[in-house]
Structures are given as structure tokens and as C-alpha cells.
């Protein structure tokens, strides 16, 4: 079982719709969860992090965490073509400061 | 977040040679990391660069192949030694700026092609 799993996609949504990206993790000791956006040819950019169960909102982005189900998600409201990128889920593992990344979900927002 | 730069941004190298990649941060940071991202793949942690001591390597990565230096709290280097085409990848440094939540910020990366 992979430590951090994501559907590779591509996930296609129309402009203005809500994009829902999902991630599951295996280490129950993980405390912090991150979403990175990576445009083609660029380095990952941190867009959200969450450490408590529930929702955390920042602009059009909402991160959701359910530690009992070992599940974290990212919702993007009013999706724009500029949101088209690969979204990487990362989890701190091993009780320390290391991050383990999922393989990423490619999001395509279509006009 | 910190401003992170890497040199070189890209390079094409011959097999058997070595390349040293530099990572510079505009502020002192406790944690620095080196990752590899192979084409179409996610990020794999190579090692944690520890200031004043030997780096901590992940399984599958060894110091002879990827020697790392961390002379101070703003600078680190990663050397890719005795390169082969399989080393063609993007190499990224990242920094951790918070001791509470472990978030990391990435440099722009170094795109390495080995011929």
C-alpha cells in the first residue's frame, strides 16, 4: 500500500464548476497535510495546509481533513483555466518533519 | 515564506561526470531538503541537509552518489556524482520554515539531462 494515494486523473471540470481532489494516507501518526500546485515545468507551490479535522477555507480553496478515515481533500470553487495544473497531496510521516508526496492529480479546467 | 534560488537552473552533462547544485535561501532556516522528480513522476526525498553534520539519506540514496553540504543556515549543495542517463531528472531543494506544521517551500529546481 502506498503511503499517500491520489487518483492520477486527468480530472476535467468546466470553468466555474467545483473541482474535488482527493487523497488518502496510511500513516495514522501523520499530523499535517498539504496541497501543492505544480504547473508544467515549474516547481511545486504550497497552496493549503491543514492539521485539524474539518474544513479550512482560503479564498476559492477549501481543504477538508478526516483523520478517522485517513482522508484529505481539496475543493476548488469557481474553477478557472488558470487552475489547470497537477495537484500534489503531501503528508508528514514518521512523526517528524519529512513529507511524503502522492503522485498527483492532473486537473484540467475547460472553457 | 522564504525566497529560494537554485543554480544552475538547467544543465546537460555527460555520463561519468559530476554536477553540483546550489540552493540559497534569503533567511536562516532550520530544515533544508533535497528532492528528485523524475519525468512524469512525483517528488522523492533524497535527503535532509543538516547544518553542521552529515545529511540524513532516505532509503535508496547514498552519500557517495549524492554528497550534500550544509555549511550554514542559508545554503546547501547537492552533488550528483558519476552520472548516468538514469540521473536525468529535476532536482529540487526545499526549506521548512515552521517547526509546528512542517510545511515546506520549494526552490525553482534544476533540470538535469545526462547524455
Q: In the numeric block, which cell numbers belong to residue A67?
A: 483523520
Q: What is the pLDDT of residue B2?
A: 84
> What's the 3-state SS for chain A?
CCCEECCCCCEEEECCCCEEEEEEECCCCCCCEEEEEECCCCCCEEEEEECCCEEEEECCEEEEEECCCCEEEEEECCCCHHHCEEEEEEEEECCCCEEEECCCEEEEEEC
Report the SS3 class of residue B80. strand
Q: What is the mean pLDDT of chain B?
A: 94
Q: What is the pLDDT of residue A1?
A: 62
Whether residue B98 is predicted with pLDDT greater than 80 in this model: the reply is no
Q: What is the pLDDT of residue A97?
A: 80
Top-confidence residue, A7 or A83: A83
Residue tagged 536525468 (cell numbers): B88
Whether residue B99 is predicted with pLDDT greater than 70 in this model: the reply is no
Could you give the CA distance from residue A15 to residue A108 in angstroms, rounded to a whole number?
A: 9
> Are A43 and B102 an interchain contact pair (Cβ–Cβ within 8 Å)?
no
- Candidates A5, A6, A17; CA nearest to A84 is A17
Q: What is the pLDDT of residue B39?
A: 87
pLDDT category at A59 given cuts 50, 70, 90 is very high
Task: Give tens-digit pLDDT for B64-74.
Answer: 999 999 999 99
Report the SS3 class of residue B86. helix
Task: Give tens-digit pLDDT for A9-54.
Answer: 899 999 999 999 999 999 888 889 999 999 999 999 999 999 999 9
Q: What is the pLDDT of residue B10?
A: 98
Chosen for mutation from A9, A97, A105 (greatest number of chain B CBs closer than 10 Å) is A97
Whether residue A95 is predicted with pLDDT greater than 70 in this model: the reply is no
B89 CB neighbours in chain A (<8 A) are: none
Nearest residue of chain A to residue B39 (CA atoms): A41
Amino acid at each position: 500500500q502506498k503511503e499517500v494515494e491520489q487518483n492520477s486523473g486527468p480530472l476535467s471540470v468546466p470553468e466555474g464548476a467545483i473541482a474535488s481532489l482527493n487523497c488518502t494516507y496510511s500513516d495514522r501518526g501523520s499530523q499535517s497535510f498539504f496541497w501543492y500546485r505544480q504547473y508544467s515545468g515549474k516547481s511545486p507551490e504550497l497552496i493549503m495546509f491543514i492539521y485539524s479535522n474539518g474544513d479550512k477555507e482560503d479564498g476559492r480553496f477549501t481543504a477538508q481533513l478526516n483523520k478517522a478515515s485517513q482522508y484529505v481533500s481539496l475543493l476548488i470553487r469557481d474553477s478557472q483555466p488558470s487552475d489547470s495544473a497537477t495537484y500534489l497531496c503531501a503528508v508528514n510521516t514518521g512523526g517528524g518533519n519529512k513529507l511524503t508526496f502522492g503522485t498527483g492529480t492532473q486537473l484540467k479546467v475547460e472553457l | 515564506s522564504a525566497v529560494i534560488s537554485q543554480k544552475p537552473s538547467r544543465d546537460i552533462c555527460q555520463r561519468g561526470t559530476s554536477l553540483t547544485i546550489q540552493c540559497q535561501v534569503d533567511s536562516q532556516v532550520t530544515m533544508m531538503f533535497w528532492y528528485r522528480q523524475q519525468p512524469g513522476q512525483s517528488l522523492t526525498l533524497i535527503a535532509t541537509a543538516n547544518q553542521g553534520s552529515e545529511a540524513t539519506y532516505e532509503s535508496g540514496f547514498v552519500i557517495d552518489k549524492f554528497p550534500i553540504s550544509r555549511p550554514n543556515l542559508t545554503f546547501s549543495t547537492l552533488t550528483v556524482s558519476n552520472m548516468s542517463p538514469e540521473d536525468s531528472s529535476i532536482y529540487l531543494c526545499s526549506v521548512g520554515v515552521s517547526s509546528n506544521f512542517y510545511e515546506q517551500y520549494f526552490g525553482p529546481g534544476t533540470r538535469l539531462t545526462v547524455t
